[in-house]
Amino acid sequence: MKDTLDILFRLQSLDDEIDALEKEKATIPGDKKEIDGKLAEMEQAIQKIKDESIDVTKLRDERETDLKAIGEQINKFQGQLYQVKTNREYETLQHEIDALKEKGSKIEDAILELLENTERISSTAAGEEKKLVDYRREAEKDKGELNARDKQLSEEIAVKRDEKTRLTVDIDKALLSRYERIRANKAGLAVAAVKNGACGGCFRRIPPQEIQELKKMQRIIACEGCGRIIVWRDE
């Protein structure tokens, strides 16, 4: 029976190791998704900057077209100044020319501001593009490491499972089923060692007489508090 109890304890340790490996392995897809998500966010941010640049360029072209039209209108009115016959007509045309010049001056200011915006946007885009290149290189490296770790974990899990299979060959099938059933119902912990005179699973104090029985390792003893199999290990 001592051998069986030793095997059960080793089996629990193996399952703990497998659970830990599988838990780590389960985080890898999420880690890769997080990397891809950040990459997508950076690409979207750059596209937004590019779209803004296109909008500013389009608006600047429209303002330059407006300025050109105003210049043509001013030239037209200035040509008409020499053809008018009365002072009133002359003053009216001159007023129109002054208004157009004022409007043109405002458009020129707007164009200058748009040019400054274009330079700012171009500088921002260049900086973000560099960040994206650097992050993409870093992301490829990180994902490569995650893929390598994923493969390594799969191999380690396979080795542990193979060891578990070999370990359980000589265990009574009913006892193995009981072990797996307890594990399923007790968050993976079916076999608990005695710790400081208590069950290592639920921490229920174990009576001295039961401690003596556990030390003999002559039969399977279940914790009256949690139902786990409890075993004695030299403390």
Enumerate the domain spans of the chain. Answer: 24-170, 174-231
Cα angle 80-81-86, degrees, rounded to a multiple of 5: 110
Question: What is the full per-residue pLDDT of the chain (235 aa) written as tens digits?
Answer: 888 998 999 999 999 999 999 999 999 999 999 999 999 999 999 999 999 999 999 999 999 999 999 999 999 999 998 888 888 999 999 999 999 999 999 999 999 999 999 999 999 999 999 999 999 999 999 999 999 999 999 999 999 999 999 999 988 999 999 999 999 999 999 999 999 999 999 999 999 999 999 998 899 999 999 999 999 987 5
Question: Which residues have C-beta within 8 Å of that of residue 194, sequence separation ≥ 6?
Answer: 200, 206, 211, 214, 230, 231, 232, 233, 235
Burial class (CB in 10 A: 0-12, 13-18, 19+), 158: exposed
Question: Which residues have C-beta within 8 Å of that of residue 11, sequence separation ≥ 6?
Answer: 164, 167, 168, 171, 179, 191
Looking at domain 24-170, its CATH architecture is Orthogonal Bundle (1.10)
The model carries a pTM of 0.74
